[in-house]
């Protein structure tokens, strides 16, 4: 394994000169601008390090791999545009996108151009439920994640008063609806079901509703920016409601917004593999570059690992052949030995409940 410093500049592709091309071009797609850059950076760092390590060992099928960073700002229209750009440049893989709506919107382009898409963070079931053969994910699904949170709350509170709020995105609304469905299966109904608009700053009206509803818990379907602001404003009004979020809060950017007000916030997230004994060497590589590989970093890295192994097995980078190899094989990655089912969902994983404490999220035991 090598540090990404120095070597990374040579790997990043912004626009190859006329008449030249990368040996093998892959995309890294996510929000590299806007309010969700904390998660986008996790994806980008994971892909960069994975490619640096691959190239240090000779690349894939004797060819070097180069990266095209693609900023979708978590916007579906922009995601379609960057997908078309990757196709025009001859890309064979995209690791991304982050936001489910962006992944779903761009996926038709990747299918049309026979490009493999592996997302480390798009959890909406619709992404893989459509049966497109070139789509995969190394993360779990909302219909696993929502029920995990509901089960935890009910098991730890005898008669919880639960409010449910989402950010109107495909990710947030589906997550909230999966959570509500799980509550209803246990004969519970939320005391409040509401929606916010992502990007707003003032959530005082919502906080007033939560106070009136006397909510013990607020289940939030959305990302860290809005969750952080809501948490801070709840505490500012003296409300002790515990916010329960999902993988979109697995970034220290959440704590940067809340500070100590975020103490006790609960989240569901995939198993954390950065502390596995087998991963200490790669953890040291990231930390040598002054980066803590939290959140989806290892899931993005593992997406590159699985694709590279499948391309080797297929003896080529043609999308259909690599997709077939991904469906047929199992692969050693930073998140363990994984395989994919017929839809493209990962075999490994499951969700774990974490609690924010002193600026870090820790597994609740």
Residue 7: pLDDT above 50?
no
Quote the mean pLDDT of the chain: 93
- Tens digit of each residue's pLDDT (9 = 90 or more) over 292-340: 999 999 999 999 999 999 999 999 999 999 999 999 999 999 999 999 9
Give ranges for CATH 3.40.50.2300 in the chain: 7-140+275-339, 142-269
Do residues 24 and 60 touch, judged by C-beta distance below 8 A? yes
Distance CA(70)–CA(286), nearest Å, equals 22
Distance CA(154)–CA(211), nearest Å, equals 21
Domain 7-140+275-339 grouped into CATH 3.40.50.2300 = yes
188 φ, ψ (degrees, to nearest 5): -120, 150
Mean pLDDT within 187-204 = 96
- Tens digit of each residue's pLDDT (9 = 90 or more) over 17-31: 333 445 899 999 999
- Tens digit of each residue's pLDDT (9 = 90 or more) over 135-161: 999 999 999 999 999 999 999 998 999
Superfamily of domain 142-269: Response regulator (3.40.50.2300)
pLDDT-above-70 percentage for the chain: 94
Tokens 């892959």 locate to 26
Alpha helices in 163-223, H assignment, sequence order:
170-185, 204-213
Pairing of strands 192-195, 162-166: parallel
Do residues 265 and 283 touch, judged by C-beta distance below 8 A? no
pLDDT-above-90 percentage for the chain: 91
């Amino acid at each position: 394994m090598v540090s990404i410093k120095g070597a990374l500049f040579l790997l990043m592709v912004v626009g190859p000169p006329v008449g030249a091309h990368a040996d093998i071009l892959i995309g890294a797609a996510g929000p590299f601008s806007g309010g969700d850059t904390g998660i986008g950076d996790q994806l980008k760092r994971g892909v960069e390090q994975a490619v640096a390590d691959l190239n240090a060992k000779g690349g894939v099928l004797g060819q070097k791999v180069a990266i095209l960073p693609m900023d979708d700002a978590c916007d579906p229209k922009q995601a379609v545009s960057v997908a078309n750009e990757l196709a025009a440049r001859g890309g064979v893989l995209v690791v991304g996108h982050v936001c489910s709506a962006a992944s779903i919107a761009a996926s038709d382009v990747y299918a049309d151009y026979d490009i493999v898409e592996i997302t480390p963070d798009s959890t909406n079931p619709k992404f893989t439920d459509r049966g497109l053969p070139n789509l995969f994910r190394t993360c779990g699904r909302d219909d696993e994640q929502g029920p995990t949170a509901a089960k935890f709350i009910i098991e730890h509170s005898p008669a919880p008063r639960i409010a449910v709020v989402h950010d109107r995105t495909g990710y947030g609304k589906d997550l909230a609806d999966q959570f509500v469905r799980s509550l209803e299966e246990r004969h519970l109904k939320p005391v409040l079901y509401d929606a916010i608009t992502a990007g707003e700053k003032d959530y005082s009206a919502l906080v007033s509703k939560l106070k009136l509803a006397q909510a013990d818990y607020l289940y939030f379907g959305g990302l860290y920016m809005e969750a952080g602001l809501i948490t801070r404003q709840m505490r500012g009004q003296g409300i002790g409601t515990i916010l329960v979020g999902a993988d979109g809060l697995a970034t220290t950017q959440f704590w940067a917004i809340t500070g100590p007000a975020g103490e006790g916030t609960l989240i569901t997230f995939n198993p954390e593999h950065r502390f596995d004994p087998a991963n200490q060497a790669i953890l040291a590589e990231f930390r040598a570059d002054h980066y803590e590989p939290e959140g989806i970093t290892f899931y993005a890295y593992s997406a590159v690992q699985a694709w590279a192994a499948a391309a080797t097995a297929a003896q080529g980078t043609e999308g259909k052949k690599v997709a077939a190899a991904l469906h047929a094989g199992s692969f050693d990655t930073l998140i363990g030995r994984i395989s994919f089912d017929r839809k493209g969902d990962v075999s490994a994983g499951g969700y774990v409940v974490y609690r924010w404490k002193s600026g870090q999220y820790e597994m609740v035991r």
